[in-house]
């Protein structure tokens, strides 16, 4: 098995169906299901917190076990964890399922990124974009399936349907990827390992965490609350007056669309101009999130948010590519796992901060997001300079 990138990406897309299902319908169904708002927040974030521990574990497993076997195992775990959402009242079971899903996603995400970079060589940015676009299909499918299934057949059958779809859609690509073994030469094994405490990597981890704190946390949470604040009686979107809930849905859906249609282009930009792409993306994110603090009409609000989401994907791919290029093939899973851990920590903390800071004011919360984006710019500059010095020394 020499080209596992596409099959593994398809497995990730299938596995994301259940997670997206939960994010889409649990908040609006919580009262009917007897789940408190606090527990909703816990259930939707515990999978990220658990990945702070399972990401390094995944890196070790990829160093010791056949990669295709790990992908197959994670596929089954993803389907099982989704099926365990069957009864939200069984809180301990639900929490355990979210932890299992966090571990499965650690394996699948790392395997997908490593296979893409290993396979692509100098065009790693392009392959990363294409890989993440395939993941985006799973996000979109889950967002479409969830409300329709819950309304049509109710929560239990909708959950079982999501689990079945995850298994059916994922098992075929997992079988194709099963023979995958990472071949690392003795020369590669002997390469110097990059310490996580080295400035060039530590700063890139800071960049990755801050990026996800904004795009997956503050912008989404505080942006949704800002919509409720600006348009309590609804707003005009494309000539139609829509309730705030639907405006928020379109706002978040723009990120899902970007994950499918834009990421292949983002990867190409990253290959051509790493630094230029990062700076341009960071400025657009800062401007887009900053615009959300203004008293905009609904359409302009959604467009500004979409611009920030699109540019945020660009910046995230560039940062991931920079980390991947620091390491030898043997060391790549460890460094990427550290980067993913920083992203997960940022996303989890950003989601919490988006809600907590919004208690002071939604504009204040979004302003903190802008500040975080601005902080990534000098961090990136120093990281790249440190990398250049390390390369010259070597």
CB 350 within 8 A of CB 216: yes
Residue identified by tokens 């928020």 is 248
What average pLDDT values come out for the chain (394 residues) when binned by 10 residues?
A: 81 91 70 73 81 90 88 95 88 92 93 82 74 85 80 87 94 90 52 71 92 87 82 82 76 80 80 88 96 93 94 88 78 83 87 81 92 94 73 46
Structure tokens at 299: 């359409």
Structure tokens at 9: 């990406």
Q: Looking at residue 186, what is its pLDDT? A: 42
CB 86 within 8 A of CB 49: no
Q: Looking at residue 338, what is its pLDDT? A: 87
**Which residues, listed in sequence order, are joined to residue 236 by a DSSP beta bridge?**
241
Side-chain half-sphere exposure of 78, counting CA atoms within 13 A: 34
Identify the three-state secondary structure at position 240. Answer: strand
Every domain of the chain with CATH number 1.20.1250.20 lies at 1-180, 191-394
Q: Looking at residue 189, what is its pLDDT? A: 43
Q: How far is CA 359 from CA 74, 140, 191, 238, in A?
A: 39, 31, 50, 31
The pTM score is 0.75
Give the Cβ contact number of residue 211 at 10 Å. Answer: 28
Residues with Cβ within 8 Å of 22's Cβ and at least 6 positions away in sequence, in order, are 43, 44, 85
CATH 1.20.1250.20 fits 191-394, yes or no: yes
Question: Using CA atoms, how far apart are residues 200 and 359, in angstroms rounded to an integer?
Answer: 36
CB 134 within 8 A of CB 10: yes
Identify the three-state secondary structure at position 238. Answer: coil
Q: How far is CA 58 from the centre of its chain?
A: 17
Q: Looking at residue 244, what is its pLDDT? A: 76
Q: Looking at residue 364, what is its pLDDT? A: 93
CB 331 within 8 A of CB 195: no
1-180: what fold? Growth Hormone; Chain: A; (1.20.1250)
Q: How far is CA 303 from CA 125, 202, 209, 232, 310, in A?
A: 26, 33, 25, 19, 10
Residue identified by tokens 């080209």 is 3
Residues with Cβ within 8 Å of 294's Cβ and at least 6 positions away in sequence, in order, are none
- First-to-last alpha carbon distance for the chain, in angstroms, is 33
Q: Where does residue 296 fall: left (phi above 0), alpha (psi -120 to 50 degrees), or beta otherwise? A: beta
Q: For residue 377, which of 284, 267, 273, 264 has the smallest C-alpha distance?
A: 284
| φ, ψ (nearest 5 deg) of residue 341 | -65, -40
Question: Using CA atoms, how far apart are residues 23 and 39, in angstroms rounded to an integer?
Answer: 13
Q: For residue 103, which of 146, 156, 46 has the smallest C-alpha distance?
A: 46
Residue identified by tokens 């110097």 is 192
| φ, ψ (nearest 5 deg) of residue 348 | -65, -45
Structure tokens at 285: 């994110």
């Amino acid at each position: 098995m020499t080209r596992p990138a596409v099959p593994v990406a398809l497995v990730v897309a299938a596995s994301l169906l259940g997670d997206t299902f939960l994010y889409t319908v649990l908040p609006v169904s919580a009262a009917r299901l007897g789940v408190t708002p606090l527990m909703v927040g816990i259930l939707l974030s515990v999978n990220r917190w658990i990945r702070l521990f399972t990401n390094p574990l995944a890196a070790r497993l990829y160093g010791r076990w056949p990669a295709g076997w790990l992908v197959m195992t994670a596929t089954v775990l993803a389907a099982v964890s989704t099926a365990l959402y069957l009864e939200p009242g069984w809180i301990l079971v639900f929490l355990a399922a979210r932890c299992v899903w966090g571990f499965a996603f650690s394996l699948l995400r790392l395997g997908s990124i490593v296979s893409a970079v290993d396979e692509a060589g100098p065009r790693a940015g392009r392959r990363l974009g294409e890989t993440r676009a395939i993941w985006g299909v799973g996000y979109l499918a889950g967002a479409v399936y969830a409300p329709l299934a819950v309304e049509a057949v109710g929560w239990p059958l909708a959950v079982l349907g999501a689990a079945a779809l995850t298994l059916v859609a994922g098992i075929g690509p997992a079988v194709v990827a099963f023979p995958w073994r990472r071949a690392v030469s003795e020369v590669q094994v002997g390469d110097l390992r990059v310490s996580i405490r080295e400035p060039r990597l530590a700063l890139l981890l800071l960049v990755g965490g801050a990026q996800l704190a904004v795009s997956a946390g503050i912008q989404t949470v505080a942006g949704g609350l800002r919509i409720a604040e600006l348009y309590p009686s609804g707003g005009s979107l494309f000539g139609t007056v829509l309730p705030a809930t639907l405006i928020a849905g379109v706002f978040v859906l723009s990120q899902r669309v970007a994950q499918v249609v834009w990421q292949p282009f983002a990867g190409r930009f990253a290959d051509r101009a790493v630094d230029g792409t990062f700076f341009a993306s960071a400025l657009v994110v800062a401007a887009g999130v900053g615009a959300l603090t203004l008293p905009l009409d609904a359409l302009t609000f959604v467009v500004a948010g979409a611009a920030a989401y699109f540019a945020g994907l660009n910046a995230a791919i560039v940062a991931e590519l920079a980390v991947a290029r620091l390491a030898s093939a043997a060391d790549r899973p460890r460094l990427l796992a550290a980067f993913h851990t920083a992203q997960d920590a940022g996303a989890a903390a950003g989601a919490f901060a988006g809600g907590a800071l919004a208690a002071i004011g939604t504009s204040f919360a979004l302003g903190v997001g802008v500040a975080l984006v601005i902080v990534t710019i000098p961090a990136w500059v120093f990281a790249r300079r440190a990398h250049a010095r390390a390369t010259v020394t070597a």
